[in-house]
Structure 1
Amino acid sequence: MSDKDLSPPRIAVVVPVKNEADNILPLLGEITAALSDRWPFEIVYVDDGSDDETPAVLAAAKRDFPQLRLVRHRESCGQSQAVATGVKAARAPYIATLDGDGQNDPADIPALFERFLSASESDRDLLLIAGFRQKRQDNGLRRLSSKVANGIRASLLNDATPDSGCGLKLFSRDAFLDMPRFNHMHRFLPALMIRRGGDVVSVRVNHRPRERGVSKYGLWNRLWVGIVDLFGVMWLQRRASVPIIDRRD
């Protein structure tokens, strides 16, 4: 075991999953390959109440992936709560989130993290790096719905983000824990960061077709909750108060 393996993790990759048994091992291998020999890291998988073989596959994977840590929801609480559980469980000061279906490419994480680290240390708590998926590998209806949703979001929230639905994002743990939390908040992280007085930088990332398993949500069940949440975030923006620190002793 190297000294790097014994060092506290610098970055945690948080992966929320529900019924993704076939995607666990391939994605773990890719995350490990992307981050090994770069920074000390941990991988936090949050099983959001899976009823397939996901829990067994994850438990067995700990033998081959020592950086892997597991948290399980007894019942499904949704992706946003799974992300929040993973961030709270993480020990690293910086967080990368990744969808568990294999469509995000872990090889993009180092570029996002390098961009994040290029900011001064005092600015990182007010910075979010968001993936911007190129050549979306989804069907036409999903691409259209995403384009419309991103357009409406950008117009109403001014979130400076062309692809706020991309699961690949990077931010500080402290920043996330300081944000208001609600169901589906993971779709609004850029707007919530700006509400804190921070900045959002979008970085072009790869997007891959889903090779295993099926999507856990569709167009209509995202559309209606998205409208309600959109107005909720607009209310939060109007109620925001960001103090200017004049002195700190």
Structure 2
Amino acid sequence: MARETAESRRASIARRPSTWVRVDKPLALIVPVYNEGENFPRLLAEVERDVPRPFTLLVVYDFDEDTTVPVATAAAEPRPWLRLARNRHGRGVVGAIRTGFDEVGEGPALVVMADLSDDLRIVPRMMELYNEGHRIVCPSRYMKGGSQEGGPWLKRTLSRLAGVSLRLLARFPTHDATNNFRLYDAALVREMGIESTGGFELALELTAKAFRRGVPIAETPTTWRDRTAGESRFRLMKWLPRYLYWYGYALSPRRAPRGAR
């Protein structure tokens, strides 16, 4: 019964017209963390160097003993735009990101990994695309001008295959379907809802839902860098069935997207 309810809700979302009035709010960065105390000072330096002001930064953690918490708490004292929130939706990256969207209100929200893999130098371009009316902006490793440095071979290969095949088979509006470094309109995310329970399939879920609905989506090239410190929590084989589910959803019959770029 729960599955039928979820399916009917997604069908209802896909039928709704894409209407949007841009809310003039500063960019909110949502950063899920898991023992990123070593990486966090460098992430903060990149944010302050590359992200245009004004912005807010929300660090979402699972447990009080996380090594990120004391480092981020100390950093927040002279920075009123930086704050912390504890995950309220169950441990893991999906719960942390859901908590982040609960906290940030309306306007543009950028999901950023704390492992220094994301190139924040492209944030100004992402904001330009958002302000032009695109409600999701997807940095892409696999379009012209994008690249990837390091990472497990199998993960890289499957990720590229998913993005490129969706682009060819369904005219999906990004070559990089699985990159979680992504800018969303927060109101759109809350309207569509988050169903993911595994992990990083979340980006594919939200983009596929918006695509099926005809929401304007843009992409821009990026360079992804593998982490040099800390431990990745990416679990490919555990999460693969959920990736495949949303991959199939993106391939399903739909209305033609409007404003995809």
Q: TM-score range by the shorter chain?
A: 0.7 to 0.9
1:166 partner amino acid: N
- The Cα offsets for residues 197-235 of structure 1, whole Å up to 9 and x where unpaired, read as 21211100122231211211233123223224444x459
Q: Does 1:67 align with 2:81?
A: yes
Mapped pair 1:195 → 2:193: no
Alpha-carbon distance in structure 1 between the residues aligned to 2:65 and 2:240: 26
- Distance apart, 1:154 and its partner CA: 4.4
How far apart are 1:82 and its partner, in Å? 1.6
| Alignment of structure 1 residues 153-164 onto 2, 5 Å | 153-154=166-167, 158-164=171-177
1:11-26 to structure 2, matched below 5 A, reads 11-26=27-42
CA distance in 2, matches of 1:74, 1:80: 11
RMSD over aligned Cα atoms: 2.7
Task: Give the whole-Å Cα distance in 2 for the aligned partners of 1:67 and 1:13.
Answer: 10
- Distance change in 2, residues 1:225/1:51 (3 Å): farther
Matched, 1:135 2:144: no
- Please, what TM-score do these two structures have when normalized by structure 1? 0.78
The CA distance in 2 between the partners of 1:59 and 1:202, in whole Å, is 34
Is 1:177 the counterpart of 2:190? The answer is: yes
TM-score by length of 2: 0.75
Whole-Å separation in 2 of the counterparts to 1:47 and 1:54: 8
Cα distance in 2, alignment partners of residues 79 and 187 from structure 1 = 14
Shift of 1:100: 1.7
Counterpart code for 1:171: Y
Aligned length: 224
Segments of 5+ residues of structure 2 without an aligned counterpart are 1-23
Name the structure 1 match of 2:20: none
Structure 1 distance, partners of 2:194, 2:105, is: 20
In the alignment, is the contact (CA less than 8 A) between 1:96 and 1:170 conserved in 2? yes
CA contact (8 A) 2:135 2:216 kept: yes
**TM-superposed deviation, 1:92:** 5.3
The one-letter amino acid of 2:124's match is P
Aligned to 1:212: 229
C-alpha displacement at 1:155, in angstroms?
A: 6.0
Unaligned runs of 5+ in 1: 1-7, 243-249
